[in-house]
Structure 1
Amino acid sequence: MEKSTPAPHVAMLATPGMGHLIPLAELAKRLAARHAVTTTLLTFASTASATQRAFLASLPPSISPVTLPPVHLSDLPPDALIETRMSVECTRSLPALTAILAELTPRPAAFVTDLFGMDAFDSARRAGVERRCLFFPGSIHSLTLFLHLPELSAATPGEFRDLAEPVRLPGCVPIPGVDMLSPLQERSSPAYAVMVHLAERFVEADAFLVNSFDAVEPEAAAALRHPKPGRPPVYPIGPLIVTAASNKLRDASNKPTRDPCLEWLDRQPARSVIFVSFGSGGALPQEEMRELALGLELSGQRFLWVVRSPSKEGSVSANYYDAESKSDPLGYLPEGFVERTKGVGLVVPSWAPQIEVLAHEATGGFLTHCGWNSTLESHVHGVPMVAWPLYAEQRLNAVMLTEGIGAAIRLPETKEKVTIAAVVRDVMVGERKGALVRAKVAELQKAVEEGLREGGAATAALDGVVENWVGGN
């Protein structure tokens, strides 16, 4: 951007959940650092937790956080899926959002939101914001699925999980029906209708900003770059994650002290510890939690496990909106487990500084739910993965990571201690499949570094986005 051109101001809407807020905030930081872009970052009241408030308070002056007024959600059923809750909250917030956007100064050159905020394009249009962009926080595989979802839904009379053949999309790994997004597994669910509705609006975007990079999904990226009438241009600008250097948050009180689990890692050999965490919203049923504990013990590998209280089967919505455990999760572990494994393992309740753990030289593996932010963090730090997907798009991510790029080994559906132990050993020290996975993530780590350099693919994509915004003024 030429010096004589005023730096643009943009408005960004982060739908509920830290997994949506963090990458959008990182995008705003990168835009400020490279192009002096200023941002109004809008968030929802439902997730205005102490953790979120501390995160927003830590942002640089170029980013101005604004929380939308609360809306009532009490009429939603207690078992309403995450996707339904987010869509309803967004829709009910549109009048307030329109008023805020209309009053912003300087006038925003663009409005950016993630997939659950597609209806907010109406507010941006009414407020006179000319450029409306979709920030897609997931993989290119997931974006491709959304772009084809309306026609797929119309062409599939029954449930996706009952399909005899996998779903085949341009450039993508074949996706078994059972591994499609969890809200698409029940056609009669309100969440299914929400997802199709959002997908139908994707074509209204002026551009897709995708939190992924070519090396992890080369064929899918190439397919989306191929021009198609009516489809917005795609900019793979990822990975957008918090780095160990910039992540100063310890907890809601923003303590600057170093976490004890990092001091424990300091005493472990290089690449010897498998980190076990299912994200801020992930919890296992109690029986699977028990098998995981016994499997880690049986593996003989060092481990650092973020333990959360068990969930009811398939219940994640409550955790997603409130990531704090309501009871001591260590009390659900097998009797004597902590004592028996204290020489090789460390269990911590509810939370650990994931970025710092993955960046630590002692960390050699990551047993993960395959949330996309966690996946990108693993690539950035070159950590091989054991895939244990839980909900949302995580099963699709697991397919891409295992059957596509080969950066993970997936556990079978039946979670038994013997299998868990075998897969953990394979990823950590295996000489065949595990060795290939470790080599692949090392390649991806280099690809990330190259993409973020001056002239790299992600940097060039971000430059293209800003040029588009400036040209629209």
Structure 2
Amino acid sequence: MIPMMEKMEKKHPCIVMVPSPGLSHLIPLVEFAKMLVHDDDELNVKFIVPTLSSSSSSSSSSSMNSILNNSDLPPNITFTVLPQVNVEDLPVKSQTSTQIRFAVKHSLPFIHQQLTSFMSSTTHHIVALVFSIFATDVLDLAKEFNLLTYVFFASGASLLSFCLYLPYLDETVFSTTNNTMSLTETVNFPGCVVPFQIKDLPDPVLYERSSEVYKSFLNVCRTHSLVDGAIVNTFTHLESEAIAAIQQQQQQQREANDRNTDKVPPFVYPIGPIIQSETSNDVNRLECLRWLDNQPPRSVLYISFGSGGTLSQEQLNEIAFGLEMSGHKFLWVVRAPNEYGGGAYLNEQKEDPLHHLPSGFVERTKGEGLVVPSWAPQVEILGHGSTSAFLSHCGWNSILESVVHGVPMIAWPLFAEQRMNAVLLKEVLKVALMPEKVVDNDEDGIVKREEIARVIKRMMEENEEGLEMRKRIKHLSDAAAAALTQNGSSTKAFSTLKQKWKIV
């Protein structure tokens, strides 16, 4: 009788996950959760999801709902969606990353309430708290409940290395120049193969040192040294130098027995590439895939700027005319214009984006291209045999999806850390081309139609440069698959993490 009672009273292990608002943070965490519970009915993952009253375009909101309500998800992954934070309660005209962080901060009382409920469970034992990069304010709650803490880095290890090094740059390079650095000056940090120009660093770093945006980002970066580990959606072959640099710093600090935790990098677990296997089955999906089925192999350029990327009206026009001039087939996901590159990330767009295209464009290109509003089934498109290349905003999720499917890129970064990612793709991995902008008065500038057509032709037409690029992206695709095999580097890192949590 006693052994039976002990068995009944056994608590099952549980991981709590807190994503930052936004699909680019939620999707990889959900995919990671699915990996965790695969073949493990006893392990549970409980999501606590902060939300904004206008956190995304209507298409992104629909995508989020389809993720949270997906009937194919295992029953041991559950979601608690918190009351919406009103965007108007956030700092006016603040940068996107700052708004995301404030949204999580406003949600802390509700997160605390949920954690209290989970901790009092008679059936589950909370093992660790995993949170997204801009949800670092939950660290204080984790300390209160004596939980292991892990930041889930949905971006690459290069950005993580930069974030860990930024406090040092703030004390040395940035502070001594007193904001007088030229945007073309370069900085180095551990693990970077090529130096980065100031203009290519994440958006918050380009703000004044005294600004709330910069101080908030710096505080987030300092917090990363306080966690027990960093789970990174990358793999060793893709970012070997950055991963090795973080691991080397950690090892040096351990050997020195340095107890100044502000300077100790977290243990890094490169467990990627984690990507969606498929997207929702809606009208756009069927239309896109049917259209691709009727195109010749490797003939289509796919164009998308992610779940939040937007272009100005002028740039939208130039892309349209550039596509026409190139003479190549295309599948273009169009979003209503906005002067800010991340204009759709936190703001709902109700306009029909196709109304903003040049007059007659859709009719003139009907035989060669397909234009879809706001959303398309990206994973399936990149995996389709008719897709030849990807004109991308260089968001990390999109990069991994392109790498996994062996599709070379035209890099068109817009905001956040996307310029750093573009440098990695073009200068280090050499699997992307990048168009040149016409820059006036030190502003971002416009990529003209002639340049767009030129770059598309370089990418899409048979030439030695294109062949070499396709060989390199195929090599990366093979390495990505190998990383997830039984003895692959990511599988080993994943197993080490599970052993740390004692859930193997």
In which range does the TM-score fall when normalised by the shorter chain? over 0.9
Per-residue CA deviation, residues 276-334 of structure 1 (Å, 9 max, x unaligned), is 0001101111111111111111111110001111112x2525x1124x53222122222
Q: CA deviation at 1:138?
A: 0.3
SS in 1 for 2:269: strand
Could you say which residue in structure 2 is the equivalent of 1:120?
A: 138
Query: 1:197 and 2:219 equivalent?
Result: yes
Could you say which residue in structure 1 is the equivalent of 2:170?
A: 153
Q: Which moved more, 1:34-43 or 1:192-201?
A: 34-43
Q: What runs of 5+ residues in structure 2 fail to find an aligned partner?
A: 1-6, 254-263, 439-446
Letter of the 1:169 partner, please give it: F
Could you say which residue in structure 1 is the equivalent of 2:256?
A: none
SS in 2 for 1:213: coil
CA RMSD of aligned residues (A): 2.1
Could you say which residue in structure 1 is the equivalent of 2:342?
A: 316
Matches of 2:178 and 2:417, distance apart in 1: 20
SS in 1 for 2:336: coil
Q: Which moved more, 1:368-377 or 1:462-471?
A: 462-471
Matches of 2:178 and 2:342, distance apart in 1: 25
Give the conservation status (yes or no) of the 8 Å contact 2:437–2:448.
no
Letter of the 1:235 partner, please give it: Y
Could you say which residue in structure 2 is the equivalent of 1:466?
A: 498
TM-score after normalising by structure 2: 0.87
What is the identity percentage for the equivalent residue pairs of Structure 1 and Structure 2?
Answer: 40
Letter of the 2:199 partner, please give it: V
Per-residue CA deviation, residues 225-274 of structure 1 (Å, 9 max, x unaligned), is 22231222111001111013xx3x135xxx7x952111000000111100
2:274 paired residue among 211, 230, 240: 240
Change (3 A) 1:419 1:72: closer
Q: What runs of 5+ residues in structure 1 fail to find an aligned partner?
A: none
Query: 1:293 and 2:320 equivalent?
Result: yes
Q: How does 1:35-184 map to 2 (within 5 A)?
A: 35-36=40-41, 37-46=43-52, 47=55, 49-58=61-70, 59-104=73-118, 105=121, 106-129=124-147, 131-155=148-172, 156=174, 157-159=177-179, 162-163=182-183, 165-172=185-192, 173-184=194-205
Whichever of the two has the greater Rg, that structure is: 2
Give the conservation status (yes or no) of the 8 Å contact 1:307–1:329.
yes
Q: How does 1:203-282 map to 2 (within 5 A)?
A: 203-226=225-248, 227-229=251-253, 230-244=264-278, 247=279, 249-250=280-281, 259-282=286-309
Give the conservation status (yes or no) of the 8 Å contact 1:98–1:124.
no
TM-score after normalising by structure 1: 0.92
Q: How does 1:407-422 map to 2 (within 5 A)?
A: 407-414=431-438, 415-422=447-454
Change (3 A) 1:160 1:368: farther
SS in 1 for 2:88: coil
Q: CA deviation at 1:409?
A: 0.8
Q: Number of aligned pairs? A: 458
Change (3 A) 1:446 1:7: farther
Per-residue CA deviation, residues 432-462 of structure 1 (Å, 9 max, x unaligned), is 3222221111111101111111111111111
Q: Which moved more, 1:78-87 or 1:396-405?
A: 78-87
SS in 2 for 1:346: strand
Matches of 1:34 and 1:238, distance apart in 2: 19
Change (3 A) 1:7 1:420: farther
Could you say which residue in structure 1 is the equivalent of 2:443?
A: none
Change (3 A) 1:417 1:175: same
Letter of the 1:16 partner, please give it: P
SS in 2 for 1:390: coil
Q: Which moved more, 1:133-142 or 1:339-348?
A: 339-348
Matches of 1:258 and 1:333, distance apart in 2: 21
Matches of 1:32 and 1:128, distance apart in 2: 23
SS in 1 for 2:196: coil
Could you say which residue in structure 2 is the equivalent of 1:185?
A: 206
SS in 2 for 1:70: coil
Matches of 2:298 and 2:349, distance apart in 1: 30
Q: Which moved more, 1:192-201 or 1:62-71?
A: 62-71
Q: CA deviation at 1:335?
A: 2.1
Q: CA deviation at 1:420?
A: 0.9
Matches of 1:152 and 1:443, distance apart in 2: 35
2:384 paired residue among 360, 365, 368: 360
Q: CA deviation at 1:73?
A: 4.5
Q: CA deviation at 1:164?
A: 5.1
